[in-house]
Amino acid sequence: MSYVISIDALKERLLDRVESLVLHLFPEASVEGTNYLVDGWEGGEGQALRICYRGNKAGWVKDFRSGEGGDLLTLIARAPKTECGGDIGEAIKWAIDWLGIAHMNREQRQDAERQARQATQKRQAETAKRTADLLRASKRRYLEAEPLFGSPAERYLIGRGLPVWQLKTRLDGKGALNALRYHPSLACPETYQTTGRKRPGMVGQVIRFGFGHLTIHRTFLEPDGAGGMRKATDLRKPKQAYSEYRGGIIPIWRGDSGKPIKDAPEGEWIAGSEGIEDGVAMAIALPEMRTFAAISLSNLGNIVLPPQIGGIYWHRHRGDPPEAVAAYEQAAEKLDRRGIALRDVWAPGTFKDFTAYAEAEYRAECAAAQEAMKGDVA
């Protein structure tokens, strides 16, 4: 179907008025950084649906509950106020009417097309520069950071019931959690602009096969009052990627081979989890296996692996909400279409995840040691 203006020009004009558009569709939307937040495609107060209104992701829309995403036309199609019923064709007609394009004469439409091409070229150049700047900055933060062992980040993991020193002593520590480090002074997107205060955090290097360093993941930390560290309690999102991580992984543990993933043995199966803590817990429970963290379920279907990898054992959580199950199933379908084998792995017994299992084992060992020491004292 043809329209009075090209789809590219229509999208550019929507981007020019993205803030007005979002508030027209969702007056209840809140703002965090460069994103408008609502509870979902139906609207409502919440944070599941994010609509970027500025920067190299302007016009990007993502529902982090369901894993579904799209652009501003997708948003228009699914917003209840437009009554488009999810139909993109109807969304285009609605946008043309809302922008007043139907009333333009031929010369005005041609001018709009020209401006759209220029804006697209400018944005692409800005995006390329911004991406390169973020990559360099994230790598700088990683290289500035301290090794994990002996740092407050190690105390954080131990506080989660993860005896990471067991991995340090295996294979003489070769490749032991090298991707995880500690940085004492990170700018937090939620608070830095208003307070100017930087925060300590655990840093995880995100890599993509065939590309190398992609970005970093940050877990912001604070003292727990008992000599240890915990996730920052005053943040809505104490865990945040520094920049785009699509297709990347955090390589937690190299397994028995001790080799980087690019040199993994032919046919090697690897164990994956969503978060870093579960990845570390799996490495402790299954030290013979290579483990990684995918950062999010939505990214699982995008990860780029060497061709010799045989498949993925994926850590499932007991009691996951329906939206998490749906996101996993979507990722599994993506991997299947790409020819990557996937098998579910569950924590032993009735534990929710490997972190809970590792913590219970560690606490039990500590309790047994304390009892033994009491006997020695007696």
Sheet holding 290-293, edge to edge: 250-253, 290-293, 269-273, 311-315, 342-345
Cβ-proximal residues to 24 (8 Å cutoff; 6+ apart), any chain: 81, 98
Residue 124 included in any domain: no
**125 part of a folded domain:** no
Interhelix angle for 7-16 vs 18-25, to 10°? Answer: 80
Q: Does one domain contain both 150 and 104?
A: no
99 in the same domain as 236: no
> Where does residue 344 rank: exposed (0-12), middle (13-18), buried (19+ CB within 10 A)?
exposed
CA separation (Å) from 45 to 21, 22, 26, 63, 113? 17, 13, 9, 14, 36
106: domain range? 7-118
Query: Any idea what the CATH number is for the domain that residue 82 is in?
Result: 3.90.580
Q: CA-to-CA distance for 254 and 274, rounded, in angstroms?
A: 17
pLDDT digits (tens, 9 = 90+) for 162-193: 999 888 866 554 557 899 999 999 999 888 88
Query: Does residue 35 share a domain with residue 110?
Result: yes
Torsion of CA 336, 339, 341, 342, to 10 degrees: -30
132 occurs within a structural domain? no
pLDDT at position 54? 85
Same-domain pairing of 179 and 312: yes
* Cα–Cα distance for residue pair 150/93, rounded to 1 Å: 60
User: Is there a single domain that holds both residue 161 and residue 286?
Assistant: yes
**What's the Cα-to-Cα distance from 197 to each of 108, 185, 200, 222, 238, rounded to whole Å?**
49, 9, 10, 13, 15
The token pair that represents 78 in the structure block: 């699914």
Decide if pLDDT at 324 tops 80.
Answer: yes
Please indicate, yes or no, whether residues 97 and 157 belong to a single structural domain of this protein. Answer: no
**Which tens digits make up the pLDDT trace of 186-198?**
999 888 888 889 9
Separation of alpha carbons 47 and 31, rounded Å: 9
Q: Which residue has the higher pLDDT, 314 or 34?
A: 314
Q: Look at the chain and report how many structural domains it folds into.
A: 2
In a domain, 217, yes or no: yes
Task: Please provide the size of the chain in residues.
Answer: 378
What mean pLDDT is reported for the chain?
89
